[in-house]
Amino acid sequence: MRKIFYISDGTAITAEILGHAVLSQFDMEFEKITIPFVENMQKAQDAVVKINQSIFEQQAPLVFHSIIDADIRATIEASEGICYDFLKTFVAPLEKELGMKARPKPHRTHGMRNETYNARIDAINYSLDNDDGISLKRLHKSDLILVGVSRCGKTPSSLYLAMQFGISTANYPFIHEDMDNLKLPDELKKNKHKIFGLTIDAHRLHEIRTQRLANSQYASLRQCRYEINEVEMLYRREGIPFLDTTKQSVEEISAKIIDICQIKRQMF
């Protein structure tokens, strides 16, 4: 199976969407590998190592990239992969490289007849049904469980992961009443391998909560600091990977979670 690399100095979502749009015209299967946040030479060199190591039976991998920095771009293009920059025309070269003519078909990329479409809808419904700890009975059916204090970004991240990538994501909040003896509920413990934690700067959390409930203990800076400290200690104690969402968009948060957890990204 021919390997495909999507490489970007950002989330790689654009690279995936455009690359998928082109490859959907070819009636064959590919193994897809996404490498986001290639923002410096070290990460570029690490990506090149992965590309060069992926050559199979003398077939070089295809590399779709959207790199702005000229030096990083040159490093990627010096790999042994067959590179395609989105600024160039690439359908014709792909036809030559793959040994087959493209067969354009309307709605093949995002159409409802795509076999993964129902899986995407199911993921969205699951994430809605399992938002904010509504239910802990179907966690075994989740792909991912996000945890964290109230207003740290769990719900938007869960829904984005479901809508963009078809990842069934539950989320569970640690609230004020949990803090005196903070621990994982039994149902979460059973699915600990799926748990990923979110955290946030206390000042930013204070601002967000103040917009929702000003002049309350819930929104006070002291309470925010206390909850974040307790939750981060829990993450470290339980060995739960976690991410600071303070200065990151939901797109960046989602892409980094997928990258850290090595969850397969679906495209629609």
Q: What is the CATH number of the domain that holds 31?
A: 3.40.50
Spatial neighbors of 68 by CB under 8 A, at least 6 apart, are 9
The Cβ of residue 127 has, within 10 Å, a number of other Cβ atoms equal to 26
Q: Tell me whether residue 188 is in a domain.
A: yes
When mean pLDDT is compared across 7-11, 194-198, 234-238, 251-255, the lowest value belongs to 7-11
Q: Provide the mean pLDDT of the chain.
A: 91
Q: What is 129-177 written as a DSSP string?
A: HTGGGS--TTGGG-SEEEEEETTSSHHHHHHHHHHHH---EEEEEE-GG
Range of the domain at 230: 117-261
Looking at the structure, do residues 126 and 251 belong to the same domain, yes or no?
yes
Looking at the structure, do residues 216 and 189 belong to the same domain, yes or no?
yes
What pLDDT, in 10s, does the model give residues 139-178?
Answer: 999 999 999 999 999 999 999 999 989 999 999 999 999 9
Count the domains in the chain. Answer: 2
Looking at the structure, do residues 78 and 141 belong to the same domain, yes or no?
no
Residue 57: is its pLDDT beyond 90?
no
Give the mean model confidence (pLDDT) for residues 62-69. Answer: 90
Place of tokens 């990329």: 109
Looking at the structure, do residues 155 and 125 belong to the same domain, yes or no?
yes
Looking at the structure, do residues 201 and 244 belong to the same domain, yes or no?
yes
Looking at the structure, do residues 132 and 237 belong to the same domain, yes or no?
yes
**Could you tell me if residue 183 is left (phi over 0), alpha (psi between -120 and 50 degrees) or otherwise beta?**
beta
| Domain of residue 214, CATH code | 3.40.50.300
Residue 80: is its pLDDT beyond 80?
yes
Q: What is the pLDDT of residue 114?
A: 62
Residue 110: is its pLDDT beyond 60?
no
Looking at the structure, do residues 155 and 54 belong to the same domain, yes or no?
no
Looking at the structure, do residues 38 and 131 belong to the same domain, yes or no?
no
Looking at the structure, do residues 128 and 251 belong to the same domain, yes or no?
yes
Which pTM value belongs to this model? 0.74
Q: What is the pLDDT of residue 26?
A: 94
Q: Tell me whether residue 216 is in a domain.
A: yes
* Structure letter (DSSP) for residue 69: S
What confidence tier does 113 reach under pLDDT thresholds 50, 70, 90? Answer: low
Residue 75: is its pLDDT beyond 90?
yes
**Could you tell me if residue 41 is left (phi over 0), alpha (psi between -120 and 50 degrees) or otherwise beta?**
alpha
